Amino acid sequence: MPRVYNFSAGPAVLPEEVLKEAANEMLDYNSTGMSVMEMSHRSKPFEEIITTAEQDLRDLMNIPGNYRVLFLQGGASLQFSMIPMNLMKNGVADYIVTGQWAKKAYQEAQKFGKVNKIASSEDKTFSYIPDCSDLPISKNADYVYICENNTIYGTKFKKLPNTKGKILVSDASSCILSEPVDVTKYGVLFAGVQKNVGPAGVVIVIIREDLITEDVLPGTPIMLRYKTHADAKSLYNTPPAYGIYICGKVFKWLKKIGGLAAIKEHNEKKAKILYDFLDQSRLFKGTVVKEDRSLMNVPFITGDADMDAKFVKEAAVAGFVNLKGHRTVGGMRASIYNAMPIEGVEKLVEFMREFEAKNLK
């Protein structure tokens, strides 16, 4: 069967070049006579894999020397607990709630201290990013938290909030490596890799060194302390070794095609093709205000649930899969991460145009 165009929000499409490389090395990685799946995480070959992956990520993101890169497990959702456990020194944090995942993080943090919701877009089904230029930042807040790109709702912070000197913590799971970023603007930047970087099972945490301390909340398990993993160079316990290996290959692929500036240009071209069609379509309509649209996740509707279901079904038959919107919002969503070729979006729009012509009377 030919490969489909996979518009899944995650686990998501990976570069075909990377998958082929991994397939070629499945039985014998670099003349070791074994797969990376079978390899000790304490071995020299794996040490080279994880060290090279970290350096390539540092190169891509221009990560300063006073930031640590951690390859952890538990997905982005475990960070909802780790962040307050490690950063809540005053027991206070401010959260900007712009979607389901920021809301879950906000709810989880309430178990550990006083948590303030200082801005939200829930009043309009998270279809926009609130003005964050002059927020009521708490004087004793330990950090300000955002979910930078909202996978379900298709919004993106185009400008980071004014935290008034407080540490910024960002969940960048669905936008990491999609464009250049200034890492120095963050205290912690984390991302589950299964959307834009690799297979499910790895979370990348980029954290400023001064935030890695022994001073954590009482009762914090050793596995949930950043210092545990920083001191052990992400090898305190057996890491998700094969996932890290694939992430490393994706980093190499990104460097090969020109880095984050090049991938941003690629992503802007893809998104423009789809948004331009939605803006002139008589059947399909985007759900996000234009100025806050994500380059990665594009939700859209017809306004008729039966028509939406028909579209999703016929699209799948035509080779465009995982277009059904998240269960909380319905409709459709095309996730067009880094590895989605422009051709995939062009062909999707062509199919949408034909569907519209057949179903509009």
Decide if 98 contacts 129 (C-beta within 8 A): yes
Q: Which of 133, 139, 158 is nearest to 294 (CA)?
A: 158
Catalytically active residues, by annotation: 101, 171, 195
Cα–Cα distance between 321 and 323 in angstroms, integer?
6
Cα–Cα distance between 158 and 313 in angstroms, integer?
34
User: At what angle are helices 241-256 and 44-61 packed, to 10 degrees?
Assistant: 40
Beta strands in 109-200 (DSSP E): 114-120, 144-147, 149-150, 155-156, 168-171, 188-192
Strands 67-72 and 5-6: unpaired
Residue carrying structure tokens 């806050």: 292
Cα–Cα distance between 301 and 361 in angstroms, integer?
18
